[in-house]
Amino acid sequence: WRLFALRGGLHVLAVTLWFYAMARITVAEVTAIGFLNPIVVTIGAALLMGERISWRRALAVAVALIGAMIVLRPGIRVLGVGHLAQLGAALTFGTSYLVAKRLSEQVPAATVVAMMSLTVCIGLAPLALAVWVPPTLVQCAVLAGTALFATAGHYAMTRAFAAAPMTVTQPVTLLQLLWAALLGALAFSEPVDIWVLIGGAVMIGAISYITWR
């Protein structure tokens, strides 16, 4: 129960930071900075769970962090609160995934997903009530679709955690950068920042190498 509560609290904080960032920076930037999740997970799995990390993997982690610096470019451009919020979200999500890995070793994947959904609903309820706006029927349908896909994805992720080391399961999520850049440009007319794509590609290459190793 302590692990369930801990994961719920971490996810509430991470989701709040993620939505705050999404409202202030581009979809591609949010996604690219989110690629730090696998780095947090890889380091955390090595430090806290005893998963082996060779010097080659350590070097790849360093390269991935360089990719993150390419995306953020501190000192070259002003980093807003949205960037800082997404950095916090990446760290918190990564920590939450480590707790999920521990839970997946003790209880079925469906239980992990159900308890996360329950605890996050309880934790986010006060924040939602503070700014509540009654949704329309169309918005309710969109939210239901979002819940369906998110729950299916979370269940699949949890099954993957139980089947393989974290350093193998996480890099697949890096494909999100392609979808995020396209979505931001086509749906929201957001500019495509070439440095975000380059930095994301560096992170994709580094973490793919971790998977290959």
- In 97-116, which positions are buried (b, 16+ CB within 10 angstroms) versus exposed (e)? bbbbbebbeeeebeebbebb
Per DSSP, the residues of 106-117 read: TS-HHHHHHHHH
pLDDT, position 145: 95
pLDDT, position 133: 93
* Most distant CA atoms of the chain, gap in Å: 54
pLDDT by residue for the chain (213 residues), tens only, comes to 999 999 999 999 999 999 999 999 988 888 888 878 878 888 888 887 777 777 787 888 888 888 888 888 877 777 889 999 999 999 999 999 899 888 988 898 889 989 998 999 999 999 999 999 999 999 999 999 998 988 898 788 778 878 877 667 666 666 777 778 888 888 888 888 888 888 888 887 887 777 676
Consecutive H or E run containing 138: helix 137-163
The Cα–Cα gap between 125 and 120 comes to 8
pLDDT, position 167: 64
Determine the 3-state secondary structure of 136 from DSSP: coil
The Cα–Cα gap between 72 and 210 comes to 22
0.85 exceeded by pTM: no
